[in-house]
Amino acid sequence: MPEWLLDASAWVLPVVLAITLHEAAHGWVAEKFGDDTARAAGRVTFNPLKHIDRFGTILLPGLLLLMQAPFLFGYAKPVPVDFRRLQPRRLGIFMVAIAGVLVNFALAIISALLLHSERWVTPEEAPWLFQNLYHSLLINVVLILFNLLPILPLDGGRAVSALLSGKARYWYGKTERYGIPFILLVLMIPPLLLNFSLIGLVIGEPALWLVEQILWLTGNGSGIT
């Protein structure tokens, strides 16, 4: 197998696993708060085929790889949630919003802990395994930071919306229609026209810092202060 294909394949499993569990977590928590819409749609499942979005799960990560972006991420089809059925509603919205982020954090910790397997098999003996583990750590950290951006319809935006009330929540909700186009413009335009990645600055550098902290927390590194 060509080396470039082997390297690219080491991204596939971490990306699919991170995105699949992230989306399934939204549906699972929504069900716990009284809305079984995701369950009825077959989205509370570990089957990645139920969550894959052709652009967000396949094409976007592929484009970022081709553009040699400083980070890699993607997204899946949004899990359907009827927020009106959540009880208590505002707490339900908040918990559904952060469920995916919490799962990504857990996956990042697990990936860092599994790096200790070098005690039994070295990275030189199993390079593909260790590439998968480090990529999983990095991808999950990037997904955490990306989804926590306070932009609707991202999870961070949903969490902020749950904390707002009255007119503030109403006007904040009006921004949702512009969220994804804005993110795509920020992702694509500066790197292509200005040779500068704003998202890389906002997410890439903090992601590397957080990776170091998780490695330190799990006994794999010195950490950064």
Cα–Cα distance between 77 and 51 in angstroms, integer?
A: 5
Spatial separation of the C-alpha atoms in residues 147 and 159, rounded to whole Å: 10
Three-state DSSP class for 110?
A: helix
How far apart, in whole angstroms, are the C-alpha atoms of residue 51 and residue 222?
37
Output b/e per residue, 10-44; b: 16+ Cβ within 10 A.
Answer: bbeebbbbbbbbbbbbbbbbbbebebebbeeeebb
Instruction: Please list the active-site residues.
Output: 23
The three-state secondary structure class of 213 is helix
Q: Is 93 helix (H, G, I), strand (E, B) or coil?
A: helix
